[in-house]
Structures are given as C-alpha cells and as structure tokens.
Amino acid sequence: MDLQLQGKTALVLAASKGLGKACAMALAAEGANVVIGARNQDTLRAAADEINALGKGIAVPVPIDVREPEAAEKFIKTAIKHFGKIDILVNNAGGPPFGKFETFDDTAWAQAFELNLLSTVRFSRQVLPYMRTTGSGRIINIVSLSVKTYLENSVLSTSIRMGVVGMAKMLSNELGPDNITVNNVAPGLILTDRVKDTLPKTVDFEEALAQRAKDIPLKRIGRPEELAALVTFLASPLAGYITGATIQVDGGAVKGPY
C-alpha cells in the first residue's frame, strides 16, 4: 500500500531513540522528510545518520529540550528552512517518573506538566499556521495505555496524559474545518530503553521479558516499529477520516471493550 507520504515534512519529537526514533524511521522509509529533536546531540546525530542511510526521506537533527519555551519556535524555523512546509507533527517526550501518589510534590507535578502536556500544547499551537497554509495536517500524540486502563505507579503520567487526550479531543473539533486531524497513540509495553531500565536485573533478560508479558494476551512485549506503523498510517492522507481518536498498540493489554 502506498501511504502517499513521499515529500511530506514530519516533525518528530524525542526521536533520538525508542518510540520517537522508530516513528521517524518509519516515516522516512515511506519517503517523508523528518526533522527530529531530542536533547543529546550525539545520539540525535546518530539517529539522523541511521535514517539518512535508508536513502529515502531526509532526516535533519535539531537538538532541543521540549520543555524549553523557545524549543518549538527553533524547531519549526529549522523545518521551514529545510523543507518549506509542515505536514505532520508527532508529539513525544520522555515519560515522568513512576511512583505512588504521595511520593510526588508540587515540583514533580509541575515538571510532568511541562514535559508531557505543555510541550504538546506549544508545538501543536505553533505548527497550526503552517498546516493551515498547506491545507491539511496531522497531529499525533504519543501517550500511554494508562489513559485506557489502570497502570500501577503511573499517577503522574496518567493524570497528565489525560490532559493530552482531552486537548486532542478539543483540537479535533476545532481543527476539523481546516482538514487537520488530531489523534493519540497509546503504547502498551513496547521494548525501549525506558522499559529495559525497569526489568529486574536478578533474572535472565529473556525470562524478565516473559514475566512482564504474562498478562498480555499476545504474550510478548511489543516492538517500537509496531507502534510506528500505526503512527505512520495516521500521518498519511489515507487516514484523513480518523480524528479525535485514541488508539492503543498494546498486544491486547487494555481489557476494556473500547
């Protein structure tokens, strides 16, 4: 299937590794040019080199911290300088720390808000004039399956990402007339460094993976490219009638009927 992404411009945040990098790779493999951002210049450059080695869409690395108020402007300026337009925004960032409700003070809440909601607000707001000029747009937010089901110790992530889901629903209504779609993709357990870091070191790696997957109907942890496949489809013109949706990629882990 031709996803019709050749020559599109995609901004992918937090893309030096993990889910963001997988999304950037998948979009570039379909011919989209990608502007990728993360904090560490060296890992970001290495990710761009890897994407450019595919010989499809071009990757431009822009070192940014998505929490900084000026990050969106810097990022978007670079994208316009290189490619002249913006078609797709993939909002992503690192996740806030895990822990019980009473372990987090006001500072931890404010940091989670800045990292996962305010960054999404700023980037989304600032791409809109460019998407309107193009006559269409795709905004895709990476959230978490915890917006659909209980996930232990995820009070910061869940509370803040509920805000992202609410914002996306509002935007999907407001931006529908501009042909700009806004959707959320909710990863279940997908094997990235964030997940590897939480595996017990006392057992063999494969055994630890199997243990973590025992309650997942598909009996395995997902691969980043399996989440990236959905993001790439939602970013394409073929997904033009999907907006305001939150879709999980979780091997069936969300047990509710929605």
Residues that bind ligand NAD (CB under 6 A): 14-20, 37-40, 64-67, 92-95, 115, 142, 144, 157, 187, 189-190, 192-195
CB of 60 to ligand NAD, least distance (A): 15
The length of the chain is 258
> Would you state the structure tokens that stand for residue 49, as one six-digit string?
């080199």
Contact yes or no for 123/79 (Cβ under 8 A): no
CB of 161 to ligand NAD, least distance (A): 8
Helices (H), the chain: 18-29, 41-52, 71-83, 106-112, 119-134, 155-175, 193-196, 205-212, 224-235
Q: Among residues 16 and 33, whose Cβ is nearest to ligand NAD?
A: 16
Residue 166 and residue 160: Cα distance in Å, rounded?
A: 10
Residue 3 and residue 5: Cα distance in Å, rounded?
A: 6
- What is the radius of gyration, based on Cα positions, of the chain? 18
Q: Among residues 70 and 174, whose Cβ is nearest to ligand NAD?
A: 70
CB of 94 to ligand NAD, least distance (A): 3
Q: Among residues 161 and 175, whose Cβ is nearest to ligand NAD?
A: 161
Contact yes or no for 126/72 (Cβ under 8 A): yes
Q: Among residues 8 and 21, whose Cβ is nearest to ligand NAD?
A: 21
Q: Among residues 14 and 29, whose Cβ is nearest to ligand NAD?
A: 14
CB of 192 to ligand NAD, least distance (A): 3
Q: Among residues 229 and 238, whose Cβ is nearest to ligand NAD?
A: 229
CB of 234 to ligand NAD, least distance (A): 15
Residue 48 and residue 36: Cα distance in Å, rounded?
A: 8
Q: Among residues 175 and 187, whose Cβ is nearest to ligand NAD?
A: 187
Burial (CB count within 10 angstroms: exposed 0-12, middle 13-18, buried 19+), residue 134: middle
CB of 194 to ligand NAD, least distance (A): 4
CB of 166 to ligand NAD, least distance (A): 17
Residue 237 and residue 241: Cα distance in Å, rounded?
A: 9
How many other C-beta atoms can be found within 10 angstroms of the C-beta atom of residue 109?
Answer: 15
